[in-house]
Homo-oligomer: A and B are copies of this chain.
Amino acid sequence: MTKTSAGNFFEDFRLGQTLRHATPRTMTGGDFSLYTGLFGGRFAVQSSAAFAKAIGYPNRPLDDLLVFHIVFGKTVPDVSLNAVANLGYAGMQFLAPVFAGDTLNATSEVIGLKENSNRKTGIVYVRTRGVNQDGVAVLEYVRWVMVRKRDEAAPAPGDHVPRLPTAVEPKLLGGACPPINVAAYDFALAGSPYKFGDYAVGEKIDHVDGITVEEAEHMTATRLYQNTARIHFDAFTAAQGRFGKRLIYGGHVISLARALSFNGLANAFHIAAINGGRHVAPLFAGGTVFAWSEVLATAELPGRSDVGALRLRTVATKDKPCADFPLKDGEADDPAVILDLDYWVLMPR
């Protein structure tokens, strides 16, 4: 008997089970500062309390992806400590803004279980919800992950694959975005004149800049989220593993791509939902991340004339500038591609 947690193995999960995750976390203005130091975000709404208040927020909200990383981090000890691979996300909705001073908690419900035919692993589907100190849901998403069994002979704990949406419907967007006073939205301060109506389906944007990642940076970021996945932190053990070195948290790439996307999408001030995403290839320290985006769809939000939604595919690459929008190499993935993310952003109309 040990007091150390070894995390859950596949056979430990049960359909319908609710996991209350540990370590509540009060957010601070310092989280903004450190997150800015790590990613360099420039979206005006998150950067300036004055800007945010002028357009209708009670204060500047924390970066949507920072909220995601904090909630995700809490789930790691219970859901993915024994994961072989993080397989996907679906239906991620940002439901309420989060401000410095708020305290975040998270719970997950097990909504699917499917043993693999080799009986060594199984797929666990969880619906995770992040809530603030008032019990208000701020984020909800489904994640599925391949988890090792402790004992191959153990019976499968269930057999159910949930139906998942391929995209969040536009009518579900906008809960974390108060009514925006577009007349008070200063496009020069925000860094671009382009509004919702200026983007067309099929339009591709090269975000131009590249950013190299150091070991100290991705570890600091991932610890900030209290994420304990050891592959990101322990070079000694990683040296004996699959990659021979530390692997950068996939969420780090998402945050880098988001920060880079400012150049071309400066008024896409809020991520309203993430439809899905694929970590196409791993990133290691020393790699330089570039990104480009394509507008997959545009949508009006029912009852709202202040903001519209763009559905974006943002692709991140490693050591390859994106002027020619790398994605596929014949049928296969372009070997430089590391992320393919499908999400909804809100922009002023």
Interface on A for B, CB 8 Å cutoff? 2-6, 20, 22-26, 28-34, 36-44, 47-51, 60, 77, 100-101, 103, 105, 133, 188-192, 194, 198-199, 205-212, 214-217, 219-224, 226, 228, 230, 233-237, 246, 263-266, 286, 288, 319, 321
- Among B3, B40, B50, B222, the residue within 8 A (CB) of A24 is B50
A224-B37 CB under 8 A given contacts A32-B30, A211-B234, A233-B209: yes
Expressed in whole angstroms, the minimum distance between the Cβ of A268 and any Cβ of chain B is: 11
Q: How far is the CA of A321 from the CA of B40 in the complex (A)?
A: 33
A36-B223 CB under 8 A given contacts A42-B22, A42-B23, A50-B103: yes
A214-B224 CB under 8 A given contacts A50-B133, A189-B22: no
Expressed in whole angstroms, the minimum distance between the Cβ of A312 and any Cβ of chain B is: 13
Q: Is the CB of A3 within 8 A of B192?
A: yes
Q: How far is the CA of A6 from the CA of B211 in the complex (A)?
A: 17
Q: Is the CB of B219 within 8 A of A24?
A: no
B residues in contact with A44, CB < 8 Å: 22-24
B residues in contact with A209, CB < 8 Å: 228, 230, 233-234
Nearest B residue (CB) for A191: B22
Nearest B residue (CB) for A236: B288
Given pairs A23-B44, A235-B286, 20 additional interface contacts (CB within 8 A): A2-B264, A4-B206, A4-B264, A5-B192, A22-B188, A22-B190, A24-B50, A25-B47, A28-B32, A29-B29, A33-B33, A34-B34, A36-B223, A36-B226, A37-B223, A38-B220, A50-B103, A210-B234, A217-B220, A228-B263
